[in-house]
Structure 1
Amino acid sequence: MQNLSCLTYYAHGFAPWSLHSFRVQACTAKGCALGPLVENRTNEAPPEGAVTVFVILEGPREVKLKWEAPLSPNGRLTYAVFFTGLFYVEQVKYNYSLLNDTQILYHTEEANLWVPISGLVPFSNYTVEVNASNSQGSVISDPITIMMPPGAPDGVLPPRLSSATPTSLQVVWSTPVRNNAPGSPSYRLQMRPSHSMDGILDLFSDPSASVSYVIGDLQPFTTYELRLIASNEYGSTYSDWTSLVTTEDKPGPIDPPFLLDVSPRTMTLKWQHPSRPNGVITHYNIYKNGHFHSKLSGKISNSTMLNLHPNASYHFQLEGCTSKGCSLSPETRTVWTLPDAPEDIPNPELYSDTPTSVSISWKLPLFPNGQLENFTIQRKSKGMEQVTTLVTLPLNHSMKFVDQTSALSPWTTYEYRILMSTLNGGTNSSAWVEVTTRPSRPAGVQPPEVLVLGPDMAKVIWSPPLIPNGNILSYEVCMPDPRIRVTPSGSNTSLLSQIMSHLIPFTNYSVTIVACSGGGGHLGGCTESLPTHIITHPTIPQGIGTLSVTPVSESYIGVSWQPPSRPNGPHLRYELLRRKIQQPLASNPPEDLNLWRTIYSGTQRFYEDKGLSR
């Protein structure tokens, strides 16, 4: 374009927004070389020319639109389609309020294409313009007026609940926001079970102009879906489905509960919720043998009956309740709880009328808990763990028994109890009851130990009987004569003693102990030990009688005597003493006057004293 040596060049005379390519060629004396190709456009200018618009009606809510570009776009054009007329404020949110406005319904950079424009209001007029613009300006088409044909109604809202009963719904609805055609619309009402796509029921046999309807023969507390169909001669519009609920009623028939897991004191009730609850089951009432028993949550379907009586008959009823009332089931079949061990068995009555027997009597339990089968009597010694079963008696036996077993001992405390059994139910017992057998005479009275203390005194030592068979009331020390009664003290009864005095020297004694027992106001008896034989120590004789003196001559006297009444020892010897107390014929008193002189010593009981002085 230019041959010069400067480094800039100004080109002009181009059309607006036209594309041009440039490259630089540099030459020397040896030749030329081309630089890289560079492209660029000229700036935009306002478009020039007319925009021609074509419109085709596609129905009551849609048109097709096409336009031609202006003769000189002079830049990159953007087309905006303007509609002026009636519009719904927010149709997607069911706001069918009408607004007279101008709105841009389409944007594009293309021309000569058919474009669909929807969402228009039927049976209304619109003015259509297309604006072509670039960054420097715009040009707008001539306005075109179109008249939309009539169509189906718009703004058909779901029906509303006016009032409800357990078996009916009264619904009302509003007229459409816009009928979109001359005249008034007609209506149809459809119903289906909740969330079901099948079973749609037309409630009107023919279209109606009414705006309310009462639906009958419904189920209580049931959700139904309804929708409204508004129609004119140009079409029909369906509202959305809406859910309406009938009010609650008392439950339908309730089956009696099942009785499971029967035991002596419990059983489980299990039931099914009513097939037609007719509302929310707020609670269940359980009736036992015709009387109210308990109230349970309406969400549960089982309950365990506690604290029942064994071997007893029961029947139950279940009552289900809603906020509107209650329905009572029929009675269950009568069920018997299982037998169990007897309860509250009275303590036996005990009486001992001999030292080795106990009379036992008893009464039936307060709660047999089944068919009594037998009675068992058990015994144990007080303070011992070992238990002896005495006898098991049938039910027809008299409720008395005498324990005369050889194991019983006098004056011993025993404990007895009664065990009672039910058929297939178990065994239970009374409490242990104490009884003490009557006392008896002691056994095991040991011979005493005797210590001879002198000619007339001995100490008798003895121990308590090995088997006292009662409380030791007294001891008697028998020589057998003398006899001394000793009452034991409570301080020390392990070793007992008694000093026996006034005994006869050198005498054989047979010493025994007689122990006597008793207790509880009864005398047990006395037992004498085997004897212990002793001899008292000897001592000087006692009871020497008067001499028998017989003068034989003037110088001879015969003397005799009897043995002493109490020799007090063995090997008895006699000494005979004589003294001179007077000698009248002597001139002088003799030297042996009043002096005792032994004249005999021996075992004989006589002596001849000869050679006496005259």
Structure 2
Amino acid sequence: MTAFQQAYWLHAPEHPQNVTALPINSTTIQINWVVPTVTNGIVRYYIVVYRIDSNTDLMELNSTNTTALVTGLTPFTFYTLHVLAVTVARGEASENVTVQTNEAAPSAPLDITAFNVSSTSINVTWQPPMIPNGIVRSYRVVYTTGSTAADVTTTNTSVVIAMLEIFTTYQVQVFATTVAEGDGSNIVMVTTDEDTPGPPGDLFVNEINSTAIVVTWEEPGITNGIITLYEILYSVGNVTTVSDNDNSVIVGITTNTSYRHVIGGLDPYTMYTVVIRTYTRIGAGDLTVF
């Protein structure tokens, strides 16, 4: 050791004693210590040195007290800290203490996707947050249509949501929760599948002449999808129903907005029963009988 080094350490204080640290919140640590046993002079201030690990830069802050708040830290992260006293020279470093900051709300879940499973259910999947800021305890999936919103909670990264409205578009967003709920994911849109439609409404049959009638109707009150076909069945006789398994005649009408069809070539002075049903891509709905 050179004469300069000997003189330096002669006036440098020993290391602070009894260093302790505890987290105040997710971004702040409080560190406390006791004055060195041997100060070798007047302690002008203390230097708190801290970092995350050996691969990160050392950071410092000064304090004239035997306590300090280290702020601006990363949530749910281990920090290693030590303290040294300064007189006319920097003293020995104390022993290291390691402490973890508290948890905080996470960032948003990633890569959310949604697709329909049936006419009343959807499947939603996502990836955990890139910055969890703690232990993700649950996810909340919010699904909205119009002014109606609902949610479901799960510990998984996927969920099937059932009992939805048929052929309805939903906005879906996912939130992760640690000790607090974080930001919402991107919003995705998903539409439940089509289903068979309800029966057409207001079916009327009127005579045009002795061999022709006109059939009119209204669109089903519940379409459950895109109407692709109206089908009229008629049969001789006053019966309670007509099906395509008996001697009925079937007339297929592609969807239109007139809701009107003329049937000709009938037998004069003959009673006919007429029914109509509606189709979507999924199939036929219930019959309406006149």
The bucket for the TM-score relative to the shorter chain is: 0.5 to 0.7
Letter in 2 for 1:218: L
Alignment-derived partner of residue 191 in structure 1? 50
Contact 1:346 1:430 in 2 (8 A): no
Q: Distance in 2 between matches of 1:237 and 1:395?
A: 85
| Structure 2 SS opposite 1:258 | strand
Contact 1:190 1:200 in 2 (8 A): no
Contact 2:126 2:158 in 1 (8 A): yes
Structure 1 vs Structure 2: percent identity of aligned residues? 17
Alignment-derived partner of residue 399 in structure 1? 260
Q: TM-score, normalised by structure 1?
A: 0.35
Letter in 2 for 1:160: A
Q: Distance in 2 between matches of 1:189 and 1:395?
A: 79
Q: Distance in 2 between matches of 1:276 and 1:359?
A: 67
| Structure 1 SS opposite 2:252 | strand
Contact 1:262 1:338 in 2 (8 A): yes
**Does 1:306 find its partner at 2:167?**
no
Alignment-derived partner of residue 225 in structure 2? 370
Shift of 1:286: 0.8
Q: Which runs of 5+ in 1 are unaligned?
A: 1-151, 436-614
Shift of 1:392: 0.9
| Structure 1 SS opposite 2:196 | coil
Q: TM-score, normalised by structure 2?
A: 0.65
Alignment-derived partner of residue 420 in structure 1? 278
**Does 1:228 find its partner at 2:82?**
yes
CA pair 390-203 structure 1, distance change in 2 beyond 3 A: same
Letter in 2 for 1:257: I
**Does 1:160 find its partner at 2:21?**
yes
Alignment-derived partner of residue 10 in structure 2? none
Letter in 1 for 2:56: G
Contact 1:346 1:363 in 2 (8 A): yes
Larger radius of gyration: 1
Shift of 1:384: 9.6
CA pair 379-224 structure 1, distance change in 2 beyond 3 A: same
CA pair 256-343 structure 1, distance change in 2 beyond 3 A: farther
Query: Aligned match of 2:285 in 387, 404, 429?
Result: 429
CA pair 253-426 structure 1, distance change in 2 beyond 3 A: closer
Q: Distance in 2 between matches of 1:182 and 1:417?
A: 107
Q: Deviations over 1:445-498 (max 9, x none)?
A: xxxxxxxxxxxxxxxxxxxxxxxxxxxxxxxxxxxxxxxxxxxxxxxxxxxxxx
Q: Distance in 1 between matches of 2:259 and 2:184?
A: 50
Q: Deviations over 1:147-192 (max 9, x none)?
A: xxxxx9699444222x62343222222446xx37866888654433
Alignment-derived partner of residue 183 in structure 2? 327
Pairwise mapping of residues 154-303 of structure 1 onto structure 2 (< 5 A)? 156-161=17-22, 164-175=24-35, 179=37, 188-193=47-52, 196-199=53-56, 201-204=58-61, 210-219=65-74, 221-229=75-83, 236=92, 238-246=94-102, 248=104, 250-252=105-107, 257-261=112-116, 264-281=119-136, 283-289=139-145, 291-297=148-154, 299-303=155-159
Contact 1:159 1:226 in 2 (8 A): no
Q: Deviations over 1:375-396 (max 9, x none)?
A: 1123576699833452112334
Contact 1:313 1:335 in 2 (8 A): yes
Contact 1:189 1:226 in 2 (8 A): no
| Structure 2 SS opposite 1:429 | coil
Contact 1:357 1:404 in 2 (8 A): yes
Contact 2:108 2:176 in 1 (8 A): no
Shift of 1:365: 0.8
CA pair 171-181 structure 1, distance change in 2 beyond 3 A: closer
CA pair 336-316 structure 1, distance change in 2 beyond 3 A: same
| Structure 1 SS opposite 2:276 | strand
CA pair 267-331 structure 1, distance change in 2 beyond 3 A: same
CA pair 236-373 structure 1, distance change in 2 beyond 3 A: same
Q: Distance in 1 between matches of 2:241 and 2:180?
A: 68
**Does 1:318 find its partner at 2:174?**
yes
CA pair 382-313 structure 1, distance change in 2 beyond 3 A: closer
CA pair 345-291 structure 1, distance change in 2 beyond 3 A: same
Letter in 2 for 1:303: V
Shift of 1:262: 6.5
Contact 1:256 1:317 in 2 (8 A): no
